[in-house]
């Protein structure tokens, strides 16, 4: 097992040319080295961990999951069965936020409800890079095929719904539907905020989701062109099995939890793993979270997206977040030591 795990890690840390990435390092920490560890609500984190740990396939993870409910003290559970592992890849740590948007919509187009929320067309599945956002929006290839889930009243909010990957649509008849990620066109995500900075419209520290939305609305023609700078296009599916009081489905197809779920890069952090977050900047955060989600813009060992909840208040808070810090992954003890290079074992 040790050799296979180490080989798997090496595969993650090898570049296309076949040489190891020298900046990548792993270090096992003690719990005493985690800033604020003793003050966190460990039981809250364990409850979220239990929501997805039953989906693990690996024997060591399944053993940890089986023990999760049997150890009375949640802090002792984490300290007894895990080791904190700091994984760094040479990139600066960056923590951002995401949320579940709420849009206004209708089942049929009329009046202001004229922007369709599409299911994924069958020919796009498994096709690799497909049509760009511009081509999908201007060619008419999606129209008149019954792919529409709903029509919403704001194209800018629809664009940001695609970035978030899930949301709620409050229908004109008073009902609400939930939509989740249903696939994409296979194109790379390009940051609209970074494009505005590149054009000299804003400085980097000025950019947030609200700033981008307001600029696009003030400049409708140029704004539409700006949004098409992002080739990536997300399709949706209707989600009926999640209770209204639960969070949206994450990458593990389970409900995620406000301020306890984090989206990560699964090349470095196993989905379902506990993650200790030390976010600096405005409103410092020291909290144990669970890696239950992913995102197209979340790439790297020290890159994470914090789930802030549902609605406009959560959206504004999430949109402002762009802070440095440190992320430490909790791994089962044997797995943690197996991942270390042989030279330091």
Q: Is 1 helix (H, G, I), strand (E, B) or coil?
A: coil
CATH class of 25-97+250-339: mainly beta
Q: Could you tell me where in the chain the CATH 2.40.240.50 domains are found?
A: 99-238
Q: Could you tell me where in the chain the CATH 2.40.40.10 domains are found?
A: 25-97+250-339
Q: Is the pLDDT of residue 270 over 80?
A: yes
CATH class of 99-238: mainly beta
Q: Is the pLDDT of residue 19 over 50?
A: no
Calpha distance 189→166 (Å, rounded): 16
Tell me the pTM: 0.79
CA atoms within 13 A on the CB side of 86: 14
The DSSP result for 171-205, as a single string, is ETTS-EEEEEEEEE-SPPP--HHHHHHHTTSS-GG
Q: What pLDDT sits at residue 164?
A: 86
CA atoms within 13 A on the CB side of 289: 28
Note whether 329 and 78 are within 8 A (CB). Answer: no
Calpha distance 183→165 (Å, rounded): 9
Q: Is the pLDDT of residue 79 over 70?
A: yes
Q: What percent of the chain has pLDDT over 70?
A: 92
pLDDT tens digit sequence for 164-186:
888 999 998 889 999 999 999 99
């Amino acid at each position: 097992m040790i050799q296979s795990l180490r080989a798997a890690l090496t595969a993650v840390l090898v570049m296309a040319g076949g040489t190891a990435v020298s900046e990548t390092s792993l270090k096992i920490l003690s719990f005493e080295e985690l800033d604020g560890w003793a003050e966190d609500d460990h039981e809250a984190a364990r409850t979220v961990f239990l929501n997805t740990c039953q989906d693990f396939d690996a024997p060591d993870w399944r053993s940890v999951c089986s023990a999760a409910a049997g150890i009375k003290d949640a802090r002792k559970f984490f300290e007894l069965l895990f080791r904190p592992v700091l994984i760094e890849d040479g990139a600066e740590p960056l923590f951002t936020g995401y949320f579940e948007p709420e849009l206004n919509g209708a089942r049929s187009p009329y009046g202001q409800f004229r922007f369709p929320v599409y299911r994924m067309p069958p020919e796009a599945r498994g096709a690799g890079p497909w049509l760009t956002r511009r081509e999908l929006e201007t060619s008419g290839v999606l129209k008149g095929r019954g792919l529409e889930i709903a029509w919403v009243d704001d194209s800018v909010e629809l664009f940001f719904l695609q970035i978030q990957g899930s949301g709620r649509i409050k229908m004109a008849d008073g009902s609400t539907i939930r939509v989740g990620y249903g696939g994409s066109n296979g194109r790379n995500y390009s940051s609209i905020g970074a494009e505005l900075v590149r054009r000299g419209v804003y400085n980097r520290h000025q950019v947030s989701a609200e700033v981008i939305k307001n600029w696009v609305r003030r400049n409708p023609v140029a704004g539409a062109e700006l949004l098409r700078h992002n080739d990536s296009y997300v399709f949706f599916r209707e989600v009926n099995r999640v209770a209204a009081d639960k969070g949206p489905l994450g990458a593990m197809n389970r409900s995620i939890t406000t301020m306890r779920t984090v989206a990560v890069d699964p090349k470095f952090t196993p989905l379902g793993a506990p993650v200790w977050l030390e976010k600096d900047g405005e409103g410092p955060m020291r909290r144990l979270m669970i890696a239950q989600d992913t995102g197209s813009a979340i790439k790297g060992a020290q890159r994470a997206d914090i789930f802030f909840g549902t609605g406009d208040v959560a959206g504004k808070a999430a949109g402002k977040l762009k802070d440095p810090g440190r992320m430490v992954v909790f791994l089962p003890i044997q797995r943690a030591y197996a991942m270390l290079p042989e030279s330091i074992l």
